[in-house]
Structure 1
Amino acid sequence: MKTIRLLVLTWFILAFGVDEGKSQRVDPSLRNSDFTFALGGDALITRKLSVYKEPKFLELIELIRGADAAFVNLEMLFHDYEPYPMHQSGGTWTRADPALIHDFVWAGFDMVSRANNHTGDYGVEGMRLTTRYVKEAGLVHAGVGESLAEAREAKFLETAKGRVALISMASTFPDHSRAGRTRGDTKPRPGLNPLRYSTVETVTSDQFSEFQAVLEDLDIRFTNPSEDQLRVFGSTFAIGDQRTVVTTPDPVDLEEIAAVVRNAKRLADHVIVTIHAHESGDARSEPAGFLPIFARAMVDAGATMFVGHGPHVLRGIEIYKDKPIFYSLGDFVFQNETLDRLPDENYRALGLASDNHVADFNDARYNMGTTGFPANREIWEAVVAMPRFRDGKLMEVMLQPIDLGFGTEAWERGRPFIAEGELANKILDDLIQRSEPFGTHIEIRNGVGFIRIR
């Protein structure tokens, strides 16, 4: 049998002139050409995208399809309600029809992150079912696994122009969603890749003394790690010149994730490190203090770019050592008001009864659309970032403003369109203002933003 196979292979090579060595090589001209990414923010999908034909929607889809690799944060679970909802969620228990995952493939996306505050909404089974549907759709995904080691792993996309690694984590999550280790005597805990952080609230000396005295009077137990610090209710308070909040990435998590990045850098042409982080500074549009520390450490470890998402608004952009750091790109798809079902806990928290349904929940949660997400214009304004590389070096970043339909009906808003005119300039002006603290200059040309590097 082996002799016959060898004769057939020899005939095929002679007949068609196949050079087995050359057929395995990537065309050098492709590797040396520009490599463009399309990067989206949060994607909470509950309705089909592929049925719509508006020109400004399809123009955006073609932009994504034209990239060499496209990424979005998949903030949705896919199942048919086989699992039960957990006692805690990421805010709303998210779930969509498994068929909708194919709309991301239709739109041109190749890679999705999975670590976010909704990963564990329907427990481990919900996570596993989502993994199954995402894999069947052919999307590269990272950030979850059957153990902490697997959740931390880089996953790889193969393209004609090079290999791309994706490493996903979250700093915002219910604790039951966090993956864990094993010592060999128990099974590891499935879940997401966590980046934990510590928080120290600084108060004046007088405030510190008064606070400590109140705790003692009320017989509330606390600890003193040092003379100028106390810990209570899971928080640390320290004496300082003024009232501040300082957050710092967990050193163990940082180093373990950095090790994954260093490994991925030696196995791929590009490394995307992405985080889901709601935590903010003084405003929702400002990243918490631990995020720039962590993002720069990931670039130092070998990340080609750092992509943040989670707050559902735009945050600034930093160019650090010629690598882009996007602290938040806002939303790409935001359809959290058209979920099919919600668990009893969601309704009862708002005083609703068993004869109330999703629309009633939305009206109660958002006070008939006058508060929360529907009333906040910035939730519905975002960008798709398109960094372009040549020979591994960042050349420029194009920033396409998108409009998700602020002020339209709940069943209409949440789908992205190319933003134009005053709205496009407004979105870019917001991004310019938020990027100034990082020393980033964004130029507006015909309603599109550009960061020139070279």
Structure 2
Amino acid sequence: MAVFSAQPPVSLYLVPDRHSPVPSRTCDRRNPYRVKSKLLLFAVAAGLACAPAIDGADDHFTLIVTGDSIVTFPLSSSNDPAFLEIVDIVRGADMAIINLETVLRDGEGYAQRDGGGAWLFASGSMAKDLRWLGVDMVSHANNHTYDYGPEAIFSTHANLGRAGIAIAGSGKDLPAARAPAFANTSKRVGFVAMASTFNEFGAASPPVHGIAGRPGLNPLRVTKRYSLSEDSASRLQAIAETEKLPFFRSDNGDISLATMHFYVADGQRVRYVPDKSDWEGNLEQIRIAADNADYVVVSIHAHQKKTEPGPPKFLVDLAHAAIDAGADVFFTHGSHYLLGIEIYRGRPIFYGLGNFFYQPHGVKNQPWEFHQKYGTDPEQDYPRPRNDRFANPAYWFGVLPVITFEGAEPTQIRLIPLNLRQGSLEEMKGRPVRARGTAAIQIGQLLQQLSQPFGTTVEETSNGELLVRISEQPQ
């Protein structure tokens, strides 16, 4: 029977006031499985490899969040100095959170009718490798969460739980998937993760009338609406009436034709309208996290794009609302590209960090549904359909932010430019190393350009890194 490793109730943790000293780690970060024996029972009960203990806490705290992470090759066996430099940076932070864009399974589950592109998975042993890397928490709300159904979600939770990694964004039902995850190092961090891009049947549902809820991810459903001029809207209505097509126009001008949605405006624009229930439900969980943690991180997996550069308006509105509700850091993944950085009320918003790991080529076999979807040969070794975006060098770069807090306030963001080595082979390809030379300069220039509309200044430092001084940015 599959085991579901749910987040323990808050009562299992020592819950301090948001700005008071909190439990600190009592085991070696580089050997997270060595726990003091008298705390072992607590660690097992709470699902933590590193049990907390009452201790005074330093006001200095560093936090890492990452871009998209499709990691499929073993990590801990690496002897690559360039990659190990990145490992040291991740381990050196007080807390590290990644977006895990795959499931961890060893045969559990079945390929679902539709996947998130390719059907992605890594071995359950990857959980220990992520812990070796220094990962404390993962987001598991994305378009690959449900590739292999509920059983693979359960196996992912079980594997991560045994490795001492907290997981947010998926669960046995909607309340579990939407609830914040918590982790303790020198501070207590709460994490809420959601997705606006996913297969509809992958969204978790709540229990009702004694009927169990459906396992899945924490959704923020959005409706895509296209703009039409008033003249085009009138002509569309006339066609619908002539052809007896299902047409509806609301008092506020919103238009629906069958499954397509429009609104009246000049110019060609796309607007995304979030589901009100999902919006409010996620903000409520952010408030709960803020009441029970020193810092709160929120992430969303979103593929939604605009016709003009920059993030779509609903993501900007969501980031602001999340910070208003108590979030200290907001980051978006899913675009696989760099987007801008905004400082809102003194809190950083990362609209796109690029890729951190990109290794779908490590999944050598794809299910029947993949070949039906893309018209490929089942006998090929990882038969990826042609897609020009994978040839784009921008897809193989990213940044790794190290956010420094002094007390309750974030003060600066150190940004390490990343190169995922597009031309390398097998496990070296898609694994991050520090970008240097021309690549680092181009990443810095691009990030500055993308952040400028938000008034954010990204400085280049003498060692090839980038820096955002939060107190000096428009608030």
TM-score clears 0.5: yes
For residue 411 of structure 1, report the CA deviation from its aligned partner.
Answer: 5.2
1:191-215 per-residue CA deviation (whole Å, 9 max, x = no partner) reads: 1111112333221111112222233
* 1:178 maps onto 2:203 in alignment: yes
Residue aligning to 1:429:
445
Residue aligning to 1:358:
381
Q: Tell me the SS of whatever aligns to 1:265.
A: helix
Residue aligning to 1:218:
243
For residue 157 of structure 1, report the CA deviation from its aligned partner.
Answer: 0.6
CA distance in 1, matches of 2:408, 2:439: 34
Residue aligning to 2:256:
231
Residues 246 and 258, structure 2, Cα contact 8 Å, conserved in 1 = no
Query: Of the two, which has the highest radius of gyration?
Result: 1
* 1:444 maps onto 2:471 in alignment: no
* 1:267 maps onto 2:296 in alignment: no
Residue aligning to 2:176:
150
Residues 269 and 306, structure 2, Cα contact 8 Å, conserved in 1 = no
Residues 396 and 450, structure 1, Cα contact 8 Å, conserved in 2 = yes
1:336-355 per-residue CA deviation (whole Å, 9 max, x = no partner) reads: 1220321012123333344x
Root-mean-square deviation over aligned CA pairs: 1.8
For residue 162 of structure 1, report the CA deviation from its aligned partner.
Answer: 1.2
Residue aligning to 1:133:
159
For residue 225 of structure 1, report the CA deviation from its aligned partner.
Answer: 2.0
**One-letter amino acid matched to 2:99:** N
CA distance in 1, matches of 2:342, 2:166: 26
**One-letter amino acid matched to 2:431:** R
1:278-326 per-residue CA deviation (whole Å, 9 max, x = no partner) reads: 111226x632221000110000000011011011111111100000011
Residue aligning to 2:3:
none
Moved over 4 A (4+): none
For residue 453 of structure 1, report the CA deviation from its aligned partner.
Answer: 2.1
- Report percent identity of matched pairs: 36
Residues 141 and 193, structure 2, Cα contact 8 Å, conserved in 1 = yes
Residue aligning to 2:224:
199
CA distance in 2, matches of 1:398, 1:433: 17
**One-letter amino acid matched to 2:142:** N
Residue aligning to 1:12:
none
Residues 198 and 247, structure 1, Cα contact 8 Å, conserved in 2 = yes
Residue aligning to 1:55:
81
CA distance in 2, matches of 1:90, 1:233: 25
Paired residues, what number? 419
Residues 404 and 415, structure 1, Cα contact 8 Å, conserved in 2 = yes
Residue aligning to 1:252:
277
TM-score normalised by length of structure 1: 0.88
Which runs of 5 or more residues in structure 1 are unaligned? 1-22
* 1:375 maps onto 2:402 in alignment: no
Residues 274 and 307, structure 1, Cα contact 8 Å, conserved in 2 = yes
Residue aligning to 1:20:
none
Q: 1:341 aligns with which of 347, 365, 371?
A: 365
CA distance in 2, matches of 1:238, 1:268: 41
**One-letter amino acid matched to 1:380:** W
Which runs of 5 or more residues in structure 2 are unaligned? 1-51
**One-letter amino acid matched to 1:301:** A
For residue 398 of structure 1, report the CA deviation from its aligned partner.
Answer: 0.6
Residues 249 and 294, structure 1, Cα contact 8 Å, conserved in 2 = no
CA distance in 2, matches of 1:82, 1:55: 35
1:23-60 per-residue CA deviation (whole Å, 9 max, x = no partner) reads: 96421xx332x100122111111111222223221111
**One-letter amino acid matched to 1:96:** A
1:159-208 per-residue CA deviation (whole Å, 9 max, x = no partner) reads: 1x210111111010001110112222421111111111233322111111
Paired residues for 1:257-296 under 5 Å? 257-282=282-307, 286-296=310-320
CA distance in 2, matches of 1:350, 1:247: 28
